[in-house]
Amino acid sequence: MRAHDGPDSLWCSPPLCCQVPKSVHMAHISWARIHHHTVLPRYTHDIAVGTWPRHQAGVGRSQAPDKGVQLLWHSSLDRRKQHGVSIEADNAGMRISFTKMHGAGNDFVVLDETRGPLGLTAAHYRYLGNRHFGVGADQILTVRPAPAPGLDFEYVIHNADGAQVEQCGNGSRCFARYVRDKGLTSKDHLRVQTMKGVIEPRLTPDGRVTVDMGAPVLEPAQVPFITQDLSAQLQGSGEKWPLELAGYTGSAIVFVAVASMGNPHAVLLVDDVDTAPVASQGPAVQASPRFPQGVNVGFMQVMSRQQVRLRVYERGVGETLACGTGACAAVVSGIRLGLLDGQVDVHTRGGVLTIAWAGPGQPVYMTGPAVSVFEGELEFPADLA
């Protein structure tokens, strides 16, 4: 919702009330700063009346008064001046439209550049990913025209830290759902260019999306993972590598299986993902110089040969509710270590992904949900670098 000229206005006073999309839980609303101490949601969608919790009233640069604040949501300059409300959009920056989506809780802002580039910088992507002042997302996904014959689109991914990355599995499902729902294609089977190769999402009749993620890269040097002076612990047809964690207060050495699904992954086997030291050990593994391009760190608990539980600490993001490429890498590693069968349900904190792999040289297939949450417009601060 954004301010618009017209007779309709909305007053908010304690307990704060606001208008929200019917299909959107309040936790999904992003905040747009109105002036130095107040925030309001920004979106364009069907609306219904809902309650804005009082504790959300002061998450700007300084806290709102304890008794709350009165806000006028109206763009008429005269009306705003009348009520003493200053809106930063008067000195407008770039405005873009976006769609908020998620795949098993891994959430995304999706942008359409099929009609032309938006010209965003790393600072713009960081602002979009910011959960306090932007929209909030693990990654920002951009749809671009096909770069070559035989392809349907190009798929560009930026992490919440603004860095462009090679691949995002949950994002690829949302990408496919987005272009179909937006009428950018009538196809159910797509060929999409990513930074590291072509993927093939396919929309299924049950509403989920299956993605041919390509064959995993298993040669450590190509992950890349530096094995110099290391001796692998062989298991099944795979191997686990000892990794020293400099400066880590827990165990100084962990064993990791490594693989790339277009982006690097290290997989650790744990007895219980609920008690695994994800928040401390994840960044410690990422900091290892043996991963020159960084790494996504998966913590996998094997429940049976067809079921695993997984948590992933992602590059440039931290722990996410789900990681599609992480699920693929974990299952591939488990199969190679002789622990899993060829099709496995991966239970993440955001939902279940089904991963299938027939063995070396074969593609990994990932199936899971892709959900649109809401749509909106966002105006960047004019001084955003």
CB 285 within 8 A of CB 298: no
d(CA 98, CA 339): 42
* 161, two tokens: 């830290």
End-to-end Cα separation, the chain, in angstroms: 25
* 111, two tokens: 């942008």
Q: Which of 12, 168, 174, 328 is catalytic?
A: 168
- Catalytic annotation on 323? yes
d(CA 89, CA 180): 32
Residue with tokens 């200053």: 86
Residue with tokens 């671009």: 144
Q: Which of 18, 174, 323, 328 is catalytic?
A: 323
Please report how many Cα atoms fall inside a 13 Å half-sphere around the Cα of residue 309, on the Cβ side. Answer: 10
- Identity at 144, one-letter amino acid code: R
Cβ partners under 8 Å of residue 232, min gap 6: 239, 240, 241
Please report how many Cα atoms fall inside a 13 Å half-sphere around the Cα of residue 204, on the Cβ side. Answer: 14
d(CA 344, CA 307): 6
- Catalytic annotation on 12? no
Please report how many Cα atoms fall inside a 13 Å half-sphere around the Cα of residue 318, on the Cβ side. Answer: 6
Cβ partners under 8 Å of residue 64, min gap 6: 37, 38, 57, 58
d(CA 2, CA 4): 6
Q: Which residues are catalytic?
A: 168, 323
